Amino acid sequence: MRKGFIISAIIALAVTFLLGWYASAWWYVATAAVAGLTVMGINDMIQTRHSIMRTYPVVGRMRYWMEALRPKMYQYFVESDIDGRPINRIDRSTIYQRAKQEMDTMPFGTQLDVYEEGYEWMSHSIAPKDFHKLNHNPRVTIGNKDCRQPYDASIFNVSAMSFGSLSSNAIEALNGGAKIGNFAHNTGEGGISPYHLKQGGDIIWQVGTGYFGCRDDEGNFSDEVFKQTVQKPEIKMIELKLSQGAKPGHGGILPAKKNTPEIAAIRHVKPGTTIYSPPYHSAFNNPKELVLFLHRMRELSGGKPVGFKLCIGRKSEFIGICKAMIDLDIYPDFITVDGGEGGTGAAPQEFSNHVGAPCSTASPSCITCSSALTSASISK
């Protein structure tokens, strides 16, 4: 049947061409159109990637055009102002208006259904303060008894996002913003690139399971390499990544073709090879070793604040870490709790959608555990 179709198309092409020869030059336009569609159809029939196009040559392509148009049509014609995820149209518009310093107020009131289950709001005070008398740069000092270089952190900082998942321009822009706003910029687990250092904003160096920027040739954590880099004055704190909300327990792969000489030099890996960040750490195997590793990093850094980031899975595992801290009398300077709803550069959808506790569930658990920890350590 396929053969028959191809032969018929070629005959139609020949006929239109001959008609053009004898009748009018306009037939050449028709010939060109038929020729284009014939080539397209034959190409669709012989390709093996898309079964719909193979079964319905040319017309089958409409499905893929529609699919490409779908997000745009959905966004412009179907989605309401409050539907979009992760950032809806109302919030996006506010961001655009404020960035352009245009009017950002709205009339009439909220469009949200405030009686909907899950609606969240902030509680105001009946005694507002004079804006001009407020501390406009509230900061929190991070650093416990073992920390020799405490850091006065802003309460708003930039979450971990690696160079590679973000472009060099984006990294530079975030770091430049951190410099202007006097807050800190987390490098993400992809190591410290020149773009993190160009603008001079404060840096939180994140160390993940790939130990990028602080590893030996076998991919293990290297005290010497870590010590060399961590001395940089821009690095104010070190964050050990155990897991992140969007893909807890997953790890990551840097495909060979994305492992350019530039990225390889930043990560201390061989260019052009596939690099795995396993889901687990090779530098420690249990809560006590984890706590000792945090201490080791703090010592190697000359006493900079060291903390760890995790997405909560089993509560008992977090309690296990707290117990190890009490037993060893060694504490991290901070703990970052990521919710299962957190963003990522790339993750399998099953992990993003269904693994890890959301922030609103995870944070109270951690606060309960850490307050138990605090009272235990005070009574020690």
Ligand X SMILES: Cc1cc2nc3c(=O)[nH]c(=O)nc-3n(C[C@H](O)[C@H](O)[C@H](O)COP(=O)(O)O)c2cc1C
Chain residues binding ligand X by CB under 6 A are: 159-162, 165-166, 188-190, 206, 241, 244-245, 309, 338, 342-345
Return the H-helix or E-strand segment holding 311: strand 306-311
DSSP alpha helices (H): ranges in the chain? 2-22, 27-46, 51-55, 61-73, 89-99, 168-181, 194-197, 223-230, 261-267, 287-300, 315-328, 349-354, 359-378
Nearest to 277 by CA among 190, 155, 380: 190
Distance CA 309, CA 63 (A): 43
What token pair was written down for 101?
């310093």
Q: Smaller CB distance to ligand X: residue 57 or 188?
A: 188
Q: Smaller CB distance to ligand X: residue 9 or 347?
A: 347
Q: How far is the CB of 241 from ligand X (least distance, A)?
A: 5
User: 258 and 352 in contact (C-beta within 8 Å)?
Assistant: no
Q: Smaller CB distance to ligand X: residue 165 or 370?
A: 165
Q: How far is the CB of 53 from ligand X (least distance, A)?
A: 33
Q: How far is the CB of 244 from ligand X (least distance, A)?
A: 4
Q: How far is the CB of 276 from ligand X (least distance, A)?
A: 15
Q: Smaller CB distance to ligand X: residue 213 or 245?
A: 245
Q: How far is the CB of 41 from ligand X (least distance, A)?
A: 41
Distance CA 20, CA 29 (A): 9
Q: Smaller CB distance to ligand X: residue 41 or 190?
A: 190
Query: Residue holding tokens 């109302």?
Result: 90
Q: Smaller CB distance to ligand X: residue 343 or 358?
A: 343
Instruction: Point out which residues pair with 336 in neighbouring strands.
Output: 309
Q: Smaller CB distance to ligand X: residue 38 or 244?
A: 244
Nearest to 183 by CA among 147, 244, 148, 138: 138
Nearest to 210 by CA among 176, 162, 168: 162
Q: How far is the CB of 301 from ligand X (least distance, A)?
A: 19
Q: How far is the CB of 253 from ligand X (least distance, A)?
A: 13
350 class by beta-carbon count within 10 Å (0-12 exposed, 13-18 middle, 19+ buried): exposed
